[in-house]
Amino acid sequence: MKFEEKIKELEKTINELENGEIDLEESINKYTSAMKLVKECDEQLNNIEKQVSKIVLENGEEDFQVEE
């Protein structure tokens, strides 16, 4: 699944959880799935940051820093 698709799925899950119309067991399953997606997205972003840093360094630029 692409990063953007994961974000859309997370948004959908958050809306469902906030809505409160699903039972407890389904809420736990959705929360667990959402946390897995968050971890995957975080890992993907970290890998992209490393790739960008490598490209910037190979081109003789200063160390790449992500603004937060």
pLDDT score recorded for residue 36: 97
16 in Cβ contact with 26 (< 8 Å) = no
Domain total in the chain: 1
Asked if residue 16 belongs to a domain, the reply is: yes
Domain coverage including residue 47:
3-57
Read off the pLDDT of each residue in 3-7 and give the average, rounded to a whole number.
95
pLDDT tens per residue, range 27-67: 999 999 999 999 999 999 999 999 988 888 888 765 556 56
- Whose structure tokens read 């997606």? 37
State the DSSP code for 22.
Answer: S
Q: How far is CA 45 from CA 1, 28, 66, in A?
A: 14, 26, 11
Asked if residue 66 belongs to a domain, the reply is: no
Asked if residue 51 belongs to a domain, the reply is: yes
pLDDT higher than threshold 70 for residue 68: no
Read off the pLDDT of each residue in 18-33 and give the average, rounded to a whole number.
94
3-state secondary structure of 23: coil
pLDDT score recorded for residue 53: 87
**Residue 27 and residue 40: Cα distance in Å, rounded?**
20
